[in-house]
Structure 1
Amino acid sequence: MPENLYDAIIIGAGPAGLFCAITCSKDKNHRVLVLEKMNTAGRKLLLSGSGSCNITHSGSIKSFVQKYGNNGSFLRHAFAAFSNNDLIEYLNNNGINTIEADNGKIFPESMKAGEILDLLLRKCNESGVEIMYGHKVHEILRDKGSFRVRASGKTFLSRYCVITTGGLSYPGTGSDGDGFRFSGDQGHTITELTPALTPVKTSTTIDALTPGSKPIPELSGITIKNASVTLNRNNRKFVTYTGDLLFTHDGLSGPVILDMSRYINPGDTLFVSFIHSSYESFEEEFILKSRNEGKRMVKNLLQSSGVPERIVQMILDLSRIPHDKKSSEINREERKKLVSLLRDCPFTVTSKDGFNVAMATHGGISLEEINMRTMESKLAPGLFFAGEVMDIDGDTGGYNLQAAFSTGKLAGDTIYRKFR
């Protein structure tokens, strides 16, 4: 075979690309090339879980597909081909023990992402996969049933081509959107691209509502466990998520915000509930406590219900209730306002943090143009996709890495069958 002629070329040396390469070269009888623009592989993988590599999550396939917004059903076949349990078994069989955290997140026992990357590179080497670093792909052309790939002044030919270049998040790792351009050149539609798994900045509307109230920055560092957050747009309820909420110096973060950030736009209002009971039941509880403990200050009564002190101070300011007011002195109007804000406190979104901060990209290659059973393009036979370059983004907790491995495996299996 000529030097630059390959059976399959994979563009991008992240987990999706490397695992695809390992899968389609398992009998070592075919030439498989991975082209990587950076001088090392797996840069984004090394950042996952702050370096500890939250590789996947526990749970059934049914529960998994619910973690990808509206597009989870597309991944059913990929998860059937290579599930979270399959990934754990693969790692265990190759000397990497895993541990499960209380929240269901799965990590390598070493808590080191580098261990996962080392395994993938070792398996590539054992399978005869060639990896060329510092090779930036400029163009992919289809020519009489094969692909001509131009990279760093060289031309490579291949029967099959797989785009695994990731999205736009963490561009310093090499994810700068090249894959979208290559896919568009082959006739594919790219859906709107926005940051996902990212914090949001909120305006200080709380200050504007009540002169002298506590500014948002004073809430920085507060965590609300299992908070309910509802996204409203144009005065209509859009979606509600539940999870841990973190106040930052300029807005909101935490798993609940990261997971719903795929839907959030500037101008939206986020209604945060600081209590777990309904409006009616909490009001009844408050009335009862006020009768029985009327001499207690309102702020102490609320704190005894589990609301953090600084949140209580903010809610009192919004309700125009003095901090030293006794619970027996609260009138009906004040009580209604107080309970309403505890149940649905509004924060207006001014912006989402950008792709430099976002852990994933919402949007990508339209899934309608990809065969979900094979990961092959419906428009360009022989062209495949895997990972974040597609219009798939999962919740925080290992779901995006699992999707990368599963789609990479499915694409690799399909190519391997075509080899035969």
Structure 2
Amino acid sequence: MKNIAVIGAGAAGMMAAAAAAESGAKVTIYEKNEKAGKKIYITGKGRCNVTNNVDTDMFFGNVCRNPKFLYSAVYAFDHDSVCDFFEKNGCRLKVERGDRVFPVSDHSSDIIGTLVRYLQRLHVKISYNSEVTGIEYEDDKVVAITVGRKEKIPVDAVIVCTGGISYESTGSTGDGYRFARKAGHSLSQPFPSLVPFEVKEAWVKELQGLSLKNVSIKMVACEDETEDEDARFVNSKNLEVKKLGVVKKAEISSDNAVGVASSEKKKKKNKNSKSVYEGFGEMLFTHFGISGPLILTASTRYEEGTRYKIHLNLKPALTKEQLDKRIIRDFEEGNKKVFRNVLGGLFPSKLIPVMINLSGIAPDKKVSEISKAERMKLVDLTQNLVMTVTGTRGFNEAIVTKGGVNVKEIDSSTMESKFRKGLYFAGEVLDIDAVTGGFNLQVAWSTGHLAGLCAAMEE
């Protein structure tokens, strides 16, 4: 019977443990937190967006980085397999708008509880408050792990499911990156993804708490910039390398120390006014800028060192001519009113003062006196409200990490390291990330399942 250690009791880790135990292995999960699934607990605003019901062939279009690497894992354990797993183990699921799958209870704790109970039935041990600090090898094969400072435990295989470096409070502190680097692997630069934006415009703060539905945005790279990628990696305020302990500050000047996949310094140039993302849906104004599903998805296209503008269309269902006719009709119906009192049918009340100010039209001006030029400016403003992105909210508020273990160095058919026998990686620790909507959790379930299955079966 193979003895397998899984590092991390998150989505990938628990699914990996389940697959390995189903295949006859003795499995222990080592979790440095006091409980399992801390990050699962906060996903989907505490409801847990388990997966997405999109066709498997279409799934890969929602993966931002290295989708082809996932073919074996996803086709072997797709969204239907995930739903069957939870349904058969007592957790009923439902499909909502956007094909997002949630537990019927709307409680992420039910997903975690289902997994933990299943592992208990398989006699998988979860060792809480147990931090794995090292992995040992002999002849490039895994032979043991170190837990804490001294305790060495012999194992036949290790599955690293430690996550990235987003939401540090959940235990994602870059441990997997250190294990990978010590095993000889390189890393693609880690950056926050599915993360809110900070914006320059002061009026945005006046809209704090306002949620908009059925709007569209376009994110545009707004100027040419050339920047050294290694310098961008080091200088990024979001990376917080020293705090996260991925490498020491003194090591940052070395290309090899940061573990970037390419050892050569590269230059990156962005074209003027290049649209990098367009989408339709919901967004939210906050005290620092903008968030919500549209913005989180847009953030997957964000790159440090590039400046962006967000062009917000408040009425994307209307052409410019249709919107103008709509405004004319509102003005005619309220022809005896002043400007500030005829906008209630067009904008949410919290947005009206901002739109008045940005339009340049006096709030007390009678609508009968508003010129065509002023009206057309309002039309343009409604369909092109521009905000300047100054940065992201960093890893502390990022749902996932973009970047991670270089997948070219991992066998996609097994999730095993090409450098070390018996060393496997699954989940967010890999250089794979997807858009919001349950796709990242599906990556975790699929890669975890494949890693667990292969770790137990391979000699």
TM-score in terms of structure 2 length: 0.80
Q: 1:202 to 1:243 in 2, by over 3 A?
A: same
Question: Which residue does the alignment assign to 1:135?
Answer: 130
Q: Distance in 2 between the 1:141 and 1:285 partners?
A: 72
Q: For 1:276, what is the secondary structure of its paired residue?
A: coil
Mapped pair 1:95 → 2:95 = no
Is 1:169 aligned with 2:166?
A: yes
**Distance verdict in 2 for CA 1:26–1:290, change over 3 Å:** closer
Query: 1:259: which partner in 2?
Result: 297
Contact 2:339–2:362, Cα closer than 8 Å, also in 1? no
Assess, with a 3 A threshold, how the Cα gap between structure 1 residues 291 and 109 changes in structure 2: closer, same or farther. Answer: closer
1:276 aligns with 2:307: no
Figure out how many residues of one structure are paired with residues of the other and give that number. 404
**1:61 corresponding residue in structure 2:** 56
Q: Do the aligned partners of residues 309 and 117 (structure 1) sit closer, same or farther apart at CA in structure 2, a change above 3 Å counting?
A: closer
Q: How does 1:16-415 map to 2 (within 5 A)?
A: 16-28=12-24, 30-147=25-142, 148-152=144-148, 153-204=150-201, 215-233=203-221, 234=223, 235-264=273-302, 265=304, 267-277=307-317, 280-282=320-322, 284-285=324-325, 289=329, 295=335, 297-298=338-339, 302-304=343-345, 306-415=346-455
Secondary structure at the counterpart of residue 189 of structure 2: coil
1:366-405 deviation digits (Å, cap 9, x = unpaired): 2222232322223334321111111222333322222211
Give the conservation status (yes or no) of the 8 Å contact 2:3–2:157: yes
Distance 1:189 1:386 in 2: 16
8 Å Cα contact 2:193/2:399 also seen in 1: yes
Distance 1:288 1:44, change over 3 A: closer
Change in CA separation of 1:227 and 1:77 when aligned onto 2, cut-off 3 Å: farther
Tell me the CA shift for residue 294 of structure 1: 8.2
TM score, norm. by length of structure 1: 0.87
Partners of 1:86 and 1:364 lie apart in 2 by 26
Corresponding residue for residue 12 of structure 1? 8
Q: 1:412 to 1:145 in 2, by over 3 A?
A: same
- SS of equivalent to 1:363: strand
Distance (Å, rounded) in 1 between the aligned partners of 2:366 and 2:413: 64
Report deviation, 1:254.
Answer: 1.1
RMSD over aligned Cα, in angstroms? 2.6
Distance 1:226 1:187, change over 3 A: farther
Unaligned runs of 5+ in 2: 224-272
Q: Which amino acid aligns with 2:417?
A: S
Q: Which blocks of at least 5 consecutive residues in structure 1 are unaligned?
A: 208-214
Q: Matches of 1:155 and 1:324 in 2, distance apart?
A: 76
Aligned-pair identity in percent equals: 34
